[in-house]
Amino acid sequence: MTEVWIVGASMTRFGRFPDLDLMDLASDAALSALRDADAAMADIGVLTMGNVYEAGSNNGQRLQKQIGQTGVPVYNVVNACATGATAVRVAMLSLLAGEAEMGLAVGVEQMGKMGLIGNAAQSHGSRAGGKPAKKEFAPKGRYGAVVKTEGVLGTGLMPGVFAQAGTEYALAHGITAEQFAKVAQKNHAHSTLNPLAQYRKEFSLEEILGADVISYPNTLPMCCPTGDGAAALVLVTGEKLRTLDPDVRRRAIKISASVLTSDPWVDGGQVQPDVNTLTRNAADAAYEAAGIGPEDLDLVELHDCFATAELLHYDNLRLCEPGGAGDFIDSGKPWRDGSTPVNVSGGLLSKGHPIGATGVANLYEVATHLRGEAGDRQVPDARVGLTHVIGLASACAVHILEAPAAR
């Protein structure tokens, strides 16, 4: 059975870099990952590129033109917020299929300061040739709508969707606004130890609860920022790994499970995205593939796009008893010094969420801890970690990484 290993990992700082372009960020991450692997573009047999907002621009090939055109297959990948993780998975599948022995997976995004409600906030022009068009109601689209429905028939924007996912759990299991806020308190505190995080500022629970409400129960520090960044991994087959330099082998991290799911049909899923079922399905499949249970995890990087989402995923990833996510955050277990550290990087809430880079950056973070190279934020003696990303609508990727028992 062929195994796939990570031998190079890197990410840029996440933040806002208006003076750089997408290729600057992608090149930085890719070249750093290659250096980390003691490899060069000439060694790479397959390139995968994850990016969302410029996905029509063949960014994988554009990257080759900046760092090395060697004629290898390139896959340009887009899969919502799971784009980066999907790019890693495509590289992995290429290796498992025997297409290549060494692959480079890159995720990059430049979102700038587009605002929380992003593209959905763009106004629809009603002018034609400088003259105001006549406003005349006529049913349009699959729902026969005569007006824009956002805010009229509830909200479908991400802050509202993830807030409602959280309150559904809260109404069923008695979660408080304070318990949701504790997630943001933890992740912002963690980010102060991560030099690559977009924000590195601690907030008190009172500051978080008292901040501007975006979409209740999420206040501003409970929502991830937009921003720019890139991350990259160099992957090799087990056979190839055995031929590499001992220093590279010593730092190699095994991908024990890689799972991608999409939404199965659930009642009501047509009107409110179900962020739970596909995550549970992905986690269960990953635990089974790796032969590892949630109790074996030394750290988890999960998709905290909003504080409400992280709490749900404690339950979805089986980190707590069913319905017990509120007790789990109260117990302190997901803090860096707890029994199951979650989002030691600062998470999306504080590290940042450049969409195409996020999934790769999560793998970078866990691999860095498993290598014992995470500096001030290092989880001591970390051997096994899990990464999770979810994108609407709909994709969920879960990876389980392991440091080998003996090098």
Partner 1 sequence: MAPALPAVDYLVLEGTPHLVAWFCAQCGASYFDRRNACARCSGAEFERRPLGTEGVVRAFTIVHRAAPGLPAPYTSVVVELDGGGRVKANLLGVTDPAAVTAQLKVRLVTFVAGTDDDGTEAIAFAFEPIGGAA
Residues lying near partner 1 in the complex (CB under 8 A) are found at 116-117, 120-121, 123, 134-137, 139, 142-147, 149-157, 159-160, 163-165, 167-168, 171-172, 177, 212-217, 265, 267-268, 270-272
Q: How far is CA 84 from CA 48, 62, 391, 393, in A?
A: 9, 17, 11, 15
Going 226 to 311 to 399 to 190, the CA torsion angle's sign is positive
The neighbour count for residue 313, using CB atoms within 10 Å, is 25
CB of 35 to partner 1, least distance (A): 42
Nearest to 388 by CA among 321, 297, 322, 327: 297
Give 189 or 393: the residue with its C-beta nearer to partner 1. Answer: 393
CB of 184 to partner 1, least distance (A): 16
CB of 111 to partner 1, least distance (A): 17
Q: Say which amino acid occupies 97.
A: A
CA distance 329 to 226: 25
Pairing assessment for the beta strands 253-261 and 395-402 based on DSSP bridges: antiparallel
CB of 121 to partner 1, least distance (A): 5
Give 94 or 308: the residue with its C-beta nearer to partner 1. Answer: 308
Give 119 or 242: the residue with its C-beta nearer to partner 1. Answer: 119
Give 24 or 216: the residue with its C-beta nearer to partner 1. Answer: 216
CB of 31 to partner 1, least distance (A): 39
Going 177 to 183 to 184 to 185, the CA torsion angle's sign is positive
User: 49, 323 in Cβ contact below 8 A?
Assistant: no
CB of 188 to partner 1, least distance (A): 19
User: 15, 196 in Cβ contact below 8 A?
Assistant: no
With residues binned 3-state (H G I as helix, E B as strand, rest as coil), the percentages for the chain, rounded to 5, are 40, 20, 40
Give 58 or 167: the residue with its C-beta nearer to partner 1. Answer: 167
Give 154 or 404: the residue with its C-beta nearer to partner 1. Answer: 154
CB of 274 to partner 1, least distance (A): 11
Rg (CA), the chain: 21
Give 105 or 307: the residue with its C-beta nearer to partner 1. Answer: 307
